[in-house]
Structure 1
């Protein structure tokens, strides 16, 4: 499902940001442009972290920005930002974040399927490090989808 939903123009390589809020704003841009989400969804993601802390940092160096469907998700979509310089979210165990995914889902089934694929990525530190080290979008996709090719 991840391979089907993550399009080339939804992969941002070597983004430069000054804060975790900026990283969420940047990773959201492709989904905003495609009208997968509305601007309120971006605000909801940022406000949720401000309210609940850095719970979106779900793995070593990896954050998954998301909000509730009713906050402005029009369709299922995902984007990813590979940061040029890692950013602190405030999660001492998992910071600094190098990869930020943005997930928009209109139902829990789609959300869970994408989460399942991301959990396998989280458990593969070697793959995460390779993703963080590459500067090529083509290599990024090969590394990201390699487990799915092995199944």
Structure 2
């Protein structure tokens, strides 16, 4: 499932982010560019963290930014960014974030399938470490999808 929706142009490696809001903006850009999501969706993701805390930090050094479909999800999509300097969201257990995914799901079925995959990734700290260190999209995809 993940390999069907994660396109090369949706992978950002070694991004420079000033803070967690900036990181959400960065990881969202490929999905905004191809109109998978709207700018309203990005604002909803940021507002959710402001309202509910750093719940999007789903594992050690790993975050999953998302919002409700009605907040501006036009179609199913996924983007991912690794960061040069890890970013703190305020999650004492799992900060700092080194890899962030941005999910645009239009229904709960696709949302759950991607979540299942990411739970496997959370449980594989070695794979997460390798993903954080790669410098090419080809290597990132190889590790992410095969491991």
How does the TM-score come out when normalised to structure 1? Answer: 0.96
Task: Return the alpha-carbon distance in structure 2 between the equivalents of residues 64 and 112 of structure 1.
Answer: 13
Give secondary structure in 1 for the equivalent of 2:135. Answer: coil
Partner of 1:21: 21
- Give how far 1:135 is off: 1.4
Partner of 2:94: 94
Give secondary structure in 2 for the equivalent of 1:18. Answer: coil
Partner of 2:113: 113
Any residues of structure 2 matched to 1:20-99 within 5 Å, and which? 20-99=20-99
- Give how far 1:146 is off: 1.1
Task: Return the alpha-carbon distance in structure 2 between the equivalents of residues 104 and 110 of structure 1.
Answer: 9
- Give how far 1:73 is off: 0.2
Task: Return the alpha-carbon distance in structure 2 between the equivalents of residues 95 and 51 of structure 1.
Answer: 18
Give secondary structure in 1 for the equivalent of 2:146. Answer: helix
1:64-107 residue CA offsets vs partner (Å, 9 max, x unmatched): 00000000000000000010110100001100100010000000
Partner of 1:130: 130
Q: CA RMSD in A?
A: 0.6
- Give how far 1:133 is off: 1.4
Give secondary structure in 1 for the equivalent of 2:120. Answer: helix
Give secondary structure in 2 for the equivalent of 1:31. Answer: helix
> Which consecutive aligned stretches of 4+ in structure 1 deviate over 2 angstroms post-superposition?
none
- Give how far 1:108 is off: 0.3
Q: How many residues of Structure 1 are paired with residues of Structure 2 in the alignment?
A: 147
- Give how far 1:138 is off: 1.1
Task: Return the alpha-carbon distance in structure 2 between the equivalents of residues 97 and 38 of structure 1.
Answer: 24
Task: Return the alpha-carbon distance in structure 2 between the equivalents of residues 84 and 137 of structure 1.
Answer: 15
Task: Return the alpha-carbon distance in structure 2 between the equivalents of residues 7 and 23 of structure 1.
Answer: 19
